[in-house]
Amino acid sequence: MVSTAPRPWSRALFGLAFMLAAALPVLTPGVQAAPPAQQARGATVQVSIEHFAFAPQTLTIAAGTTVVWTQKDAIAHTVTSDTGAWPSSPLIQQGKTFSMTFTKPGAYTYHCTPHPHMTATIIVTAAATPASASPTPQPATTGVSGGATTVFARGLDNPKGLAFAPNGDLYVAESGHSDGTCPRQTSSANSSAGVSGAVARITPGGKVTRVITGLLSQCEGGQYIGPTGVSFVTQTLYVAQGSCLGQYPGPASPCFVSQPVLRMTPGGAPSAVAQFVIHTLSNQEYGFTHEDPFGIVTGPDGALYVSDGGNNSIWKFRAPATGASWVDTPMAQFPHDPTVTGLSFSPSGGLYATVFGAFPFAKGSGRVSHVAAKGGITDVVKGLTMPIAVAFSPNGTMYILQYASEFQFKPFPHTVAKSGAVWRRTSAGALETVVSGLNFPTAMAFGPDGKLYITNNGTDTSPGAKGEIVRATVGS
């Protein structure tokens, strides 16, 4: 069944990406996700307000330290406590400063009043950490709790799917933020397109390097969409691209080329390996090919499995050595117009999918389904709200990721902020919360160390790269 319901939210997640061989200097490769700075008592510490962000976003200081904010943007900002811990600054104009001395230990969160997406945290300790001490783990974003949670890496641009490479490095699909370098793809005045989509590699030590850049990122109505998933077949990396609307009419340009799955070759340009075509003639909503891939996973049989929110289906194919496969029959088709999101194989080899209910994603309409080899669908967990990923611990325990607690008819992001959560399914079939307070998480995966890695701030329309990877110790 082809989706005909409006999907203002789903298009924010199921990104649109295009091939571009030339790398763009949008973000600096090799960004180090360093632990927060910590200063001695009585020191003065600088915080920069630039590109609609506070930097550093998390700062650890000793009691008695003075923090000085320097405003570098052309647009005025404020430094306003979330809890009224200090009187709000006035509007700080470009080149001006604001200072505050912190005397009491605690965690102080703050924001900019005209631009509430600009948030940061100051952690005040009773005494300074000795210079010889080891760096402390980065605290998770304010409100995230459970599972000994820390931030593993920051500075990601709308992170979506995760996959660990055979050598233990973590790869992340980044949907980007659009930059207006490509023509608009719709008539909406709020739409734009650019080539800031990317894939980042993160070492076990937390070092972030963008290894693939120049993939298309599209903005529609303030929603950024781009690359959505990554998976490895042996040593080869494959990338799923969301909202693939066929080939747009126009000149031959990377801005107009769209394929749902790309193969990434070291030192070479991305190449398309699949085109899903069964729905081409029946899709009246768009009038042309409309894939909406989100999750991609490699099966025990070496085939690639791709969830498709635009067609309510799961596709299965083997990547050809050269060229692209034309896949004209999905392996599984979900009835009643749901949105299929994450995919994962259990240790025993079973394929599981997370599924939203039909738009507008009513509470309790989501589920986790088992998908048999011949396409049979059996719901194994029901009554969920907006489940976006499923993962299995090494011993086979199921974990489910909730994107948000409720869809709302309001301006983007249409959902309740910081209501994402991870649930563990017990042996009795009950669900228990192990991580809460996540802000629009989009994917999760267990690492070689047995810890759970989760994207956070995975759907963000504000300037700057606010995405991060949260690492949680959740047990077995």
67 to 45, 48, 86, 141, 384: CA distances (angstroms) = 5, 10, 13, 20, 44
CA distance 409 to 430: 31
What would the pLDDT profile of 221-251 be if each residue is shown by its tens digit?
Answer: 556 678 999 999 999 999 998 765 444 333 3
Strands in 226-317 per DSSP E: 227-233, 236-241, 261-264, 271-276, 293-298, 304-308, 313-317
Q: What SS3 class is residue 256? A: helix
Domain spans of the chain? 10-27+146-472, 36-136
What would the pLDDT profile of 391-427 be if each residue is shown by its tens digit?
Answer: 999 999 999 999 998 887 766 667 888 899 999 999 8
∠ CA 28-31-35, rounded to 5°: 150
DSSP symbols for 444-473: EEE-TTS-EEEEES-S--SSS--EEEEEE-
In 10 A of CB 374, how many CB atoms?
7
According to the model, what pLDDT value does residue 129 have? 37
For 36-136, give the CATH class. Answer: mainly beta
Pairing status of strand 119-125 against strand 58-62 = parallel
Q: Tokens representing 34?
A: 């360093």
According to the model, what pLDDT value does residue 460 have? 67
According to the model, what pLDDT value does residue 107 have? 80
According to the model, what pLDDT value does residue 230 have? 96
- Cβ atoms 302, 250 nearer than 8 A: no
Q: Which residues of the chain have pLDDT under 70?
A: 1-42, 126-147, 178-193, 219-224, 243-259, 266-268, 277-291, 410-413, 460-465, 476
According to the model, what pLDDT value does residue 99 have? 94
Pick the CATH number of 10-27+146-472 from 1.20.120.420, 1.10.10.10, 2.120.10.30, 3.40.50.10420: 2.120.10.30
According to the model, what pLDDT value does residue 329 have? 84
According to the model, what pLDDT value does residue 379 have? 96
